[in-house]
Amino acid sequence: MQRDAGSFALLLINIADLPGLQARLGFQACAAFLQSLSDRFGLALDKRGTVLRFGDANFCVLVRAIRNGGHAVLAAEKLARVAEEAMSDAALTIAPELNIGISLWPLQATDGESLLRKAQLAAAAVRKRTARLQVFDDSCAEQVLTPWTLGNAFAEALRSGGLQVYYQPKLRIADRRAAGAEALMRWLRDGTPVATPDVFIPLAEEAGLIQETTWYALSNALQQAAACGDLPVAVNISPGMLHHHDFVEMVRTALSAWSVKSGGLTLEITEGALIVDFEQATARLAQLRELGVRISIDDFGTGYSSLSYFKKISADELKIDKSFVMRMLTEDADQRLVETIINLARHFRLDVVAEGVEDQPTLDMLARMGCDYAQGYLFAPALSTQQLGVWLRDNRP
């Protein structure tokens, strides 16, 4: 920038699935391929450009004497063709996908930071639009600034007590009494939700905050359990957390800090987390059970894993996904699925919980099918600690 008084474009070329490419080619071959790509970009631009590797999965290409967006697009298309040639020469069976985000100097930015930021926003917009390249414009900012700022806001909320843990009661169907509660995270500002956990939990994973987030849920839940006279509690564990090297230690620390009795803590794990790395998952679950932790397979029936994992996984509970439960009165297939899961649980001597129970007829049917526990709006939504205290007074065994 300092050298060049004129105008230029920044092309941020992002390799969409670098880990995938590394896995297919091997690390060395992948590095060599990227080096050859960089050389070819340089050759194609002759003396008009500078090619830099930026981070792991990006090239930053500065192209001089670009006066407008149209010019920049031509340059970017040329590089995309060069990349295609390189891929076909390397005989890659699955070509990596490139996203090119473009920003213009000095039209769109007059300092390096914002020039980069805008190219990055444009590249992120490409990913969403399934186009191949994008010159930065205001629509990019709107599209992607939201998760960006959301990530920062989440980190801030996590550290300043802006996150709350709510508790949804779980009932024993036989006597309709409280049998425990599931901790569900809430992100509220002035009493209204900023985002739902389906949005901010993946965000926490992406931002590397899942360990802190899980500790937050775990420690709050165990504290609450103690405050409610050793109420059994369940905490959701995301796939990334189960496979984190520190996870078992984290649970051990929490259990001893709050003197939790054996069976007092259930960890809810989805099938998806199990198949990420089955060997590791089984080993982790066995270690956790040795600590006296119960394991529940959450959203059961929605994964694509085979039933054969049942032989090897040591679990204590199956949780029937709410999508089946909520449709079981109207859809024959869902009803049969629910019944099958209940029978499966019984054969394997596992407890079975139906979630998403919203009405009495559903509960009655679950009772006839021999389901042990139920959770859902029929009884209570996720409650604040205060509301939980009141609810428990009326619904304790």
**Contacting residue, 153, 358, 367, 384, with ligand C2E by CB under 6 A:** 358
Residue with tokens 């939504």: 381
Residue 196 within binding range of ligand C2E, rule CB under 6 A: yes
- Minimum CB separation from Ca ion for residue 304, in Å? 16
Total residues binding ligand C2E (CB under 6 A): 24
- Minimum CB separation from Ca ion for residue 206, in Å? 20
Name which of 183 and 352 has its Cβ closer to ligand C2E. 183
The CA distance from 392 to 397, in Å, is 9
Structural contact between residues 4 and 46, judged by C-beta atoms closer than 8 angstroms: no
**Contacting residue, 41, 105, 247, 268, with Ca ion by CB under 5 A:** 268
- Minimum CB separation from ligand C2E for residue 48, in Å? 49
What would the x/- binding string for ligand C2E be over residues 48 to 77, using CB under 6 A? ------------------------------
The CA distance from 204 to 220, in Å, is 18
- Minimum CB separation from ligand C2E for residue 103, in Å? 36
Strand-pair category, 98-105 with 8-15 = antiparallel
CA angle 343–347–352, rounded 5-degree value? 55
Name which of 41 and 300 has its Cβ closer to ligand C2E. 300
Residue 198 within binding range of ligand C2E, rule CB under 6 A: yes
362 binds, among ligand C2E, Ca ion, none (CB under 5 to 8 A by kind): none
- Minimum CB separation from ligand C2E for residue 42, in Å? 45
Name which of 124 and 201 has its Cβ closer to ligand C2E. 201
Residue with tokens 């939790």: 260
**Contacting residue, 356, 363, 369, 372, with ligand C2E by CB under 6 A:** 356
Structural contact between residues 195 and 188, judged by C-beta atoms closer than 8 angstroms: no
Closest CA relative to residue 222, chosen from 205, 212, 235: 235
Residue with tokens 């590397």: 208
203 binds, among ligand C2E, Ca ion, none (CB under 5 to 8 A by kind): none
**What is the H or E stretch that residue 311 is in?**
none
- CA distances (Å), origin 21, targets 14, 32, 177: 13, 12, 53
Structural contact between residues 154 and 160, judged by C-beta atoms closer than 8 angstroms: no
Other CB atoms within 10 A of residue 115 CB: 24
> Read out DSSP for 179-202?
EEEEEEEEEEETTEEEE-HHHHHH
* Identity of the amino acid at 384: S
The CA distance from 124 to 115, in Å, is 14
What would the x/- binding string for ligand C2E be over residues 206 to 225, using CB under 6 A? -----------x--------
Q: What is the footprint of Ca ion within residues 229-248 (CB under 5 A)? A: 236
The CA distance from 95 to 198, in Å, is 32
Stretches 89-97, 122-130, 149-157, 351-359: which one binds ligand C2E (CB under 6 A)? 351-359
Name the E strands within 173-309.
Answer: 177-189, 192-195, 233-237, 265-270, 294-300
Q: What is the footprint of Ca ion within residues 76-115 (CB under 5 A)? A: none
What would the x/- binding string for ligand C2E be over residues 240 to 279, using CB under 6 A? ----------------------------x-----------
**Contacting residue, 298, 317, 334, 351, with ligand C2E by CB under 6 A:** 298
- Minimum CB separation from ligand C2E for residue 265, in Å? 13
Q: What is the footprint of Ca ion within residues 294-323 (CB under 5 A)? A: 298-299
Q: What is the footprint of ligand C2E within residues 319-338 (CB under 6 A)? A: 322
Contacts of 360 (CB under 8 A, 6+ apart): 378
Other CB atoms within 10 A of residue 181 CB: 26
- Contacting residues toward ligand C2E, per CB under 6 A: 168, 183-185, 196-198, 201, 217, 236-238, 268, 298-299, 322, 355-358, 375-377, 382
- Contacting residues toward Ca ion, per CB under 5 A: 236, 268, 298-299
